[in-house]
Amino acid sequence: MVVVLDLFLAGAVLAAVHHAEVIAERVGEPFGSLVLAVAVTVIEVGLIVTLMVSGGDETAALARDTVFAAVMITCNGVVGVAILTAALRERVASFNAEGSATAFATVITLATLSLVLPTFTTSKTGPEFSGSQLAFAAVASVALYALFLVVQTVRHRGLFLPPGDDAAAVGSAPAPANDHPAPTRAAALRSLALLVVALVAVVGLAKTSSGAIEDGVKSIGAPQSAVGVVIALLVLMPETLAAWRTARRGRVQISFNLAYGSAMASIGLTIPAIAVASIWLDGPLVLGLGATQIGLLVLTALVSSLTLLPGRATLQEGGVHLIILAAFLFLAFNP
């Protein structure tokens, strides 16, 4: 049964990526990558809240574990894969440094406000926010994410397009990377509906497999926090595959839009949802990261800054990001 579910999960991921690409060709960038990032994150948030409401004290840290895993997977895994893929094809991966740095600065700020500060606040015992602190984090998350969307899609759209793409200057969507005509409006709307269905299937199958995931985690002696990591890996498969396929066409900036947009949406939507759900949640709500996790987040911030500022990256930068991801995954299962 688990094998059958995994096969359906793989099919749902491929379907989601296909329909996301159809929508992206219709609406242009950065709207195309934004659709997939937000759609996946909304359903991911629903999955987290559902599991926390029904899981009791054992899921007190599920939101933290899943959100932090999403940040590490996107900022190191997806970014590393995109750089490695493009560098193997063109020797050097080129992207828009200003837009990428703006996006990553927002991600790291959101992560610090929501996941690092609870470890050091003193209003409550343990790595938790008080009610007022959680409300502030939720409002700040929504405000930062909303501001970024305005900057990305309205005020400075050109910063989030691949280098040399002058679509923002002429005020139209960029031409598709291939030669066939852009999809019609009806085809795009159909793909949007099917994208939602595919993403619901991805998360639903991941939730159905959660029991097997928990049993597998326990059988190898890994901590409970590893469950959130596995869930994040499953849910983020559509973005990872879409970013890889985009990087193969030399459009690394679009892959970065997917990566940082997913990380940003994961924090910016999860924390407010958890703040509202905390009204009905019993028991503690653990948000603060441990010392090892904070160390990995700081390392990610430093390395990503050095990677993004030149606007160009080689195999070395891609390899460094993937090694950081490997360290995160190893320590998640073997702390």
Give me the numbers of helices (H) and strands (E) for the chain, helices first please.
Answer: 15, 2
pLDDT tens digits, 283-296: 778 899 999 999 99
- Checking if the pLDDT of 207 tops 80, the result is no
Q: What's the token pair of residue 155? A: 């005020």
CA atoms within 13 A on the CB side of 64: 27
Q: What's the token pair of residue 244? A: 């890889």
The region that residue 251 occupies, defined by phi over 0 for left and psi between -120 and 50 for alpha, beta otherwise, is: beta
- Checking if the pLDDT of 166 tops 50, the result is no
Give the mean pLDDT of 174-186.
60
- Checking if the pLDDT of 91 tops 80, the result is yes
pLDDT tens digits, 216-246: 777 788 787 788 888 788 778 877 888 898 8
Q: Across all residues in the chain, what is the average pLDDT?
A: 83
Do residues 86 and 254 lie in contact, with contact meaning Cβ atoms separated by under 8 Å? no
Query: Fold for domain 2-333?
Result: A middle domain of Talin 1 (1.20.1420)
**pLDDT at res. 173:** 44
- Checking if the pLDDT of 301 tops 70, the result is yes
Do residues 133 and 291 lie in contact, with contact meaning Cβ atoms separated by under 8 Å? no
**pLDDT at res. 179:** 47
Determine the Cα–Cα distance for residues 230 and 308; give it in Å rounded to an integer: 28
Give the mean pLDDT of 198-218.
72
CA 215 → CA 3, 44, 60, 233, 308, distances in Å? Answer: 15, 21, 18, 17, 40
pTM of the model: 0.82
**pLDDT at res. 226:** 83
